Amino acid sequence: MRVFNLYWKIFRSYLGVIFVYVGIFLLIGIAVTSSNSSVQDSFDETKIKISLNNLDEGSTLSTGLLCYLENYSEIVELDDEDIKDALYFRRIQVIITIPENFEEEFLAGKSNLIMQEKIESTMTTVALDQAINKYLNYVRVYINQTNYSLDEVLPLVKNVLENEAEAQTTSELSDLLDFSGFYYKTLSYVIISVILTVVGLITISFRKLEVRRRLFTSPYPQRKINLEMILGNFIFTVFLVILLCAVSLVLYKEALLNLNGILLVINTLIFAIAALSMAYFFSLLISREQVLSGFNNVFSLGTSFITGAFVPQALLGSGMLTLAHIFPNYYFVYNVDLITSSTNLSNVILNKVYLYYGIQLLFAGVFIIASILVSKKQTKSEK
């Protein structure tokens, strides 16, 4: 195991570089976690501020609807001339107008009677829309399917809505999953940077002419040299993945001690193998440490930006995302988003995760084959 021992001897000389990369990354991860440590552990319902113009005041239906909407909205009393300004300056978020003869026209089968004016759609305005539609749909179903009068239907609708499933407190776990997603997406930069640096520097050291000549003249077979190099690289890569994933379990223990955590660890290991194969291929083409350093900075940062490690993929342009598909980082980051999207992963999501596992392994296979071809060509030329 002479080459294997030499590998670790060279590896120890680059421990400082590894500690710098990993240390800075871990400080960022801890800082993010600490800044968000006061995660809300209870469900607080947010009410939307609205201006109401009820032109069918006194009708049974409009009164029942407004009573229900009190769970979702807060009515702000404004003078007519101030309503538009209040909407523009976000003092209110929606202007709701209930038209004249609202109840009569609703019972006649007309729909989309309530008018809303808003500057933009947000989660709260969408929730208000859903609440209005839900209430009126229930009323319409009871009216159409029974012989009850409107006065009899409204208490039944109110009872149904009050007995719907209550919201469960999942914000804390969801937030931790989001933070772990940020952590793992940034891992793509750290993994590529560290592996490309270490594997590249060690490979360049082995490819120095005096070292190569000594290896060629020794009775040590070339196949054994390659196997011990591969073993050293693989052990280093697995150790790096274990270290980084272990830190994530410390920071986000509650969110990752489940299927989500297992899938993230597998995703990281597969991506690290793809990064290792890329790093070895590039190191065969680069002969100087200075060139390797410059290439590492450009490649690791560039691919991290265009594949969504630092900026969410949803915010990237279509052209940039098309380019990102040629790097395994894209599939790694996409998988992280899928895995951290929910605590209850559906079969559709899981199948896509497994597919992207396979694509990352395909990248690894392509670079391994390319490395073998380049290595054979270089060996023939040196001999």
Question: Could you read off the pLDDT of 269-322 as tens digits, one per residue?
Answer: 999 999 999 998 998 888 787 888 888 889 988 998 899 888 878 778 888 889
pLDDT at 38: 45
* Mean pLDDT calculated for residue range 21-47: 58
Mean pLDDT on 331-351: 86
Residue 126: how many other CB atoms lie within 10 Å? 11
Domains of the chain with CATH codes? 2-38+171-382 (no CATH), 48-162 (3.40.1710)
3-state secondary structure of 343: coil
How far is Cα 120 from Cα 346, in angstroms, rounded to an integer? Answer: 31
CB under 8 A, 24+ apart: contacts of 124-132? 124/46, 124/48, 124/93, 125/48, 125/93, 125/94, 127/48, 127/72, 128/48, 128/50, 128/69, 128/72, 128/73, 128/94, 131/68, 131/69, 131/71, 131/72, 132/65, 132/69
* Of residues 42 and 361, more confidently modeled: 361
Among 6-15, 220-229, 236-245, 249-258, top mean pLDDT goes to: 236-245
When mean pLDDT is compared across 50-64, 69-83, 203-217, 258-272, the lowest value belongs to: 203-217
Residue with tokens 């350093």: 293
The residue written with tokens 């499933």 in the block is 165
Q: What is the pLDDT of residues 38-77, one digit of tens each?
A: 444 444 456 788 888 889 888 899 899 888 888 878 888 8
The residues near 272 (Cβ < 8 Å, ≥ 6 apart) are: 191, 195, 237, 238, 240, 241
User: What pLDDT is attached to residue 44?
Assistant: 45
**What local confidence, expressed as pLDDT, does residue 215 receive?**
62
Close Cβ partners of 197 (under 8 Å, ≥ 6 residues apart): 14, 17, 18, 21, 292, 293, 296
CA 273 to chain centre: 21
pTM tops 0.75, yes or no: no
